[in-house]
Amino acid sequence: MRAYKFLRPDGTGVFTGFHWPLPDGGPGGWVRADVDPCRSGVHACRPGHLPLWIGRALYEIELEGDITDDEMKLAASQGRLLRRIDAWDAQAYDDYTRMCADRGHELASAHGLDNWEAVIEPSVPEGGALLGFVAARIAEEIDGQQGYHRERAAQTDWLIQRLALQA
């Protein structure tokens, strides 16, 4: 199956530091690992997972073998990077961060959440992962877990549209 994976700008895994074989005129090499979610395996995202794992470099990845699919991530026994999503560049990253900040302002001001309003702009330099979380947390304050999930879904829609991802 096709999925997506965030890596550091140098092509290493965000949590593992693993040096992924990068695409170079064709897919990168296959990586194999036993599946044990969050401990072992090739971890990746459906589009709906992406806001939870925002990073600087985004790749399309092909997964094969044993695949587990849960609310927060995919984990597979084999994967290879197919291509870098070039549209996820520094400008798109900044635009995503700004979109999340603006959405946080909109929600916080509409509901008088001054304490949340105050943390938004100082958080912007930390980037999209934090601002996406802040916007979702504000929505959760207003409308519980439904609000949180709704905000994450809106972030997903933004990414799908901006990056022309396959939903």
Partner 1 sequence: MAHSPLHISCQEVVELVTDYIERTLPADDAAVFEQHLNFCDGCVVYVDQVRLTIDAVGNLSAEDVPPETTDKLMAAFRDWKRQ
Q: Where on the chain is the footprint of partner 1 (CB under 8 A)?
A: 14-15, 36-39, 52-55, 70, 72-73, 126-127, 129-130, 132-133, 136-137, 140-141, 145, 148
Residue 21 Cβ, how far from partner 1 at the closest point, in Å? 23
Tally of helices (H runs) and strands (E runs) in the chain: 3, 5
Which tokens in the block code for residue 31?
Answer: 């990586």
Nearer to partner 1, 23 or 35 (CB): 35
**Roughly how many angstroms between the first and final C-alpha of the chain, as a whole number?**
13
Dihedral (C-alpha) 141, 96, 16, 153: value to the nearest 10 degrees? 50
Residue 127 Cβ, how far from partner 1 at the closest point, in Å? 7
Residue 78 Cβ, how far from partner 1 at the closest point, in Å? 19
In sequence order, which ranges of 90-127 are alpha helices (DSSP H)?
90-110, 114-123
Residue 132 Cβ, how far from partner 1 at the closest point, in Å? 8
Nearer to partner 1, 72 or 166 (CB): 72
β-pair partners for 44: 74
Nearer to partner 1, 23 or 120 (CB): 120
